[in-house]
Amino acid sequence: MDKNTVYGLLLIGAILIGFSIYNSPSKKDIELQKRYRDSIAAVTKINQKEAAQQAIANEIIAQSTINIDTIASDSLQKARLFQKYGSFYASSQGSLENYVLENDLMTINISNKGGRISSVVLKKYKAYDSLPLTIGDIDSSNFSFTFNNQNKTFHTSDFFFKASQNALTVNGDSSKSFALRMAISESQYIEYVYTLPKNSYMFDFKVNMVGLADVVSNKDKLTLNWSEKGLSTEKYKDGETNSSTIYYQLNEGSETDYLSEMSDKEESIDKKVNWVGFKKQYFTSVLVSKQGFIKSYLETKGLKSSKKYTKQFKANLDLAYNGSNSQSYDFSFYIGPNHFQTLKAFDLGFEKQIPLGWGIMGWINKFAVIPVFNFLDSFNWSYGIIILVLTILIKVVLLPLTYKAYLSTAKMKVLKPEMDEINTKFANEDPMKKQQAVMELYRKAGVNPLGGCLPMLLQMPILFAMFRFFPASIELRQKSFLWADDLSTYDSIYDLPFNIPFYGDHISLFTLLMTISTLIYTRMNSSQFSGNTQMESMKWVMYLMPIIFLGVFNNYSAGLSYYYFLANMLTFTQQALIKRFVNEEEIHRKIQENKKKPNAGKSKFQMRLEEIAKQAQERQEQLNKGKKK
């Protein structure tokens, strides 16, 4: 570099230094700049804080928006529920729960939906398929009260009942009580209280309506709706269906009545009713009202197409309602077996649900057959042996009638030659003359033509009583004997691959034995009809009846067929023994002696018959004279 370059660079450096000095800030400017930077920093810090606060505010706003939407949704739901269910809207929502109340005999399942009994299991019984025997199920039954609120109709079955922590009360060793409430508030509710004794099929059910005078707007009645489909628990479903119906007892005179068992039926009852029972073949559900039902509508309907159910039961029962703030209804339930002594012990007429027959047949069963049967049952014998002993005792009691019938048959047999002679002599004569000759022979011989029939007719009430007793006896249910696995229903030695109309799809051996023995018995006693034209026609009826019974009894109780078979066999034995003590030659000798006596054996009845026959003959002669003229 030369001197000029150096001078130039120094000059430029001097200029730059001078410019720098000239443009350097004063103390005042420096202070202002510091203040500016501090201000910028403060503003930045404030902005950051405000941003954070804004973020928090935005989050709060977001959360507040969700709560508001939820509150709005809940309010809308409550508004809808209130519109639909009125004051009871709070009880319209809930989850299903099941409560269990049990004693030594039964287990009661109670649903919180409707607070009602959903099913009952009877511990000492089994269904035919060996499963626990259950009465009712929640899907096919209903039990609810109907009430009005704000011009709308509601059913307690639509609401949820709540049980408090202290809902179960143990009443010493005697019973347990369980309470549920369908509540509006602490002071407004419908309460159900179930009280189950320790060892009973009957339990109390109380309904308390508290503080509902302004809520329930029913005028003078409250309707109880009770319905149930009968579960099939037996071997023969058709037999169950035909044995199921609704029974009820009227308050006036405690008269018990029922709907037809063989067809669908409905009935309205304007009189006060004490109790209503859904009666199945061997079990029943009875609802008793201590206040009484002021009006009732009952209905039954068969469910032939269903394999699970037998019959639909329905009862709409009206209760008096006074509209007060405190009203209670006292009920009792009986859910258990149709056992005569068990039902009779309650002294409410429950035992009338067991079809023991009307009139004298019912008396025979109640006061003779059942006591003897229970006495024999106390020995813990097989039921086949009990039926055998019962049959022997009945035959012993009827022995005098049997002896008289056989003696009359023997007399008719001795007179047969003379009857044949009369038939030959008056073959072409007026039938009235022939009848008079026959009656004259009976009179002289001292023979009553109905002597063999009357003892048999006197035995008929017992035969019919047994016809009602065995199929209705729960004692025979699921009790086996020989080839029969259940004496309460039919026995089968062979199941047919098809169904025969009026017979069935199986072969009952007890029914076959009964039919064959009856035909043999008829053949043995047909001789007493010989010589009597009117009685001859009865002989064919006697042969036809066992054939008809073959179809009827094939689906009936094996215990009944077994009893009739035993009765026939014992009758053969009795006749064989009686025959050894009856001398037909001696009978013939006495008859001949009676014929020699004037007016021998002539009773007022026979005299009356002769008078009627004489008058009829005179009228016939007058008619014949009129025709000749």
Domain boundary at 51, 85, 119, which? 85
3-state SS class at 237: helix
pLDDT surpassing 90 at residue 72: no
pTM: 0.76
- Co-location of 471 and 576 in the same domain: yes
Domain membership of residue 506 (yes or no) is no
% the chain with pLDDT above 90: 45
- Co-location of 288 and 367 in the same domain: no
Instruction: Provide the 10 A C-beta neighbour count for residue 376.
Output: 18
- Co-location of 341 and 367 in the same domain: no
- Co-location of 211 and 293 in the same domain: yes
Domain membership of residue 34 (yes or no) is yes
Residues 498-528 as b or e (16 or more Cβ within 10 Å = b): eeeeebbebbbbbbbbbbebbbebbeebbeb
Q: In sequence order, what E strands does 105-219 have?
A: 106-111, 117-126, 132-135, 141-149, 152-155, 168-171, 175-185, 188-197, 202-210
- pLDDT average, residue stretch 582-609: 62
Q: How many residues are present in the chain? A: 629
pLDDT surpassing 70 at residue 164: yes
Q: In sequence order, what E strands does 446-579 have?
A: 494-500, 504-507
Tokens of 275: 């109790």
In this prediction, residue 23 carries a pLDDT of 63
Domain boundary at 29, 53, 85, which? 85
In this prediction, residue 88 carries a pLDDT of 78
Cα–Cα distance measured from residue 34 to residue 191, given in angstroms and rounded to the nearest whole number: 83
- Co-location of 138 and 285 in the same domain: yes
- Co-location of 80 and 98 in the same domain: no
Domain membership of residue 75 (yes or no) is yes
With left for phi above 0 and alpha for psi between -120 and 50, is residue 215 left, alpha or beta? alpha
| Choice between 172 and 303, residue whose per-residue pLDDT is larger | 303
Listing from the earlier edge strand, what are the strands of the sheet with 188-197?
168-171, 175-185, 188-197, 202-210, 326-337, 283-293, 273-279, 245-250, 256-258
- Co-location of 81 and 113 in the same domain: no
- pLDDT average, residue stretch 403-408: 77
Domain membership of residue 623 (yes or no) is no
- Co-location of 244 and 158 in the same domain: yes
Q: pLDDT tens digit string along 8-50? A: 667 776 776 766 666 666 666 666 566 656 655 554 554 565 5
In this prediction, residue 71 carries a pLDDT of 47
Q: How confident is the model at residue 335 (pLDDT cuts 50, 70, 90)?
A: very high
Lowest mean pLDDT among 1-5, 309-313, 572-576: 1-5
- Co-location of 18 and 109 in the same domain: no
The candidate with the shortest Cα–Cα distance to 467, out of 514, 407, 404, 416, is 514
CATH number at residue 111: 2.70.98.90
Cα–Cα distance measured from residue 571 to residue 395, given in angstroms and rounded to the nearest whole number: 8
pLDDT surpassing 90 at residue 55: no
pLDDT surpassing 70 at residue 145: yes
- Co-location of 350 and 372 in the same domain: no
In this prediction, residue 65 carries a pLDDT of 46
In this prediction, residue 599 carries a pLDDT of 52
3-state SS class at 54: helix
Which residue range is the domain that position 275 belongs to?
94-354
Arithmetic mean of pLDDT over the chain: 82
Lowest mean pLDDT among 63-67, 363-367, 376-380: 63-67
Cα–Cα distance measured from residue 113 to residue 138, given in angstroms and rounded to the nearest whole number: 10
How is 413-448 classified by DSSP, letter by letter?
HHTHHHHHHHHHHTTTS-HHHHHHHHHHHHHHHT--
Domain boundary at 307, 332, 354, which? 354
Q: In sequence order, what E strands does 198-320 have?
A: 202-210, 221-231, 245-250, 256-258, 265-269, 273-279, 283-293, 295-302, 309-320
Domain membership of residue 546 (yes or no) is no
- Co-location of 65 and 169 in the same domain: no
Helices 558-581/509-525 angle, 10° precision: 30
In this prediction, residue 233 carries a pLDDT of 93
Cα–Cα distance measured from residue 410 to residue 63, given in angstroms and rounded to the nearest whole number: 110
Domain membership of residue 295 (yes or no) is yes
3-state SS class at 291: strand
How many domains are contained in the chain? 3
The candidate with the shortest Cα–Cα distance to 409, out of 463, 456, 441, 444, is 456
- pLDDT average, residue stretch 548-565: 91
Domain membership of residue 498 (yes or no) is no
- Co-location of 279 and 167 in the same domain: yes
Domain membership of residue 618 (yes or no) is no
In this prediction, residue 66 carries a pLDDT of 46
The candidate with the shortest Cα–Cα distance to 293, out of 281, 277, 309, is 277
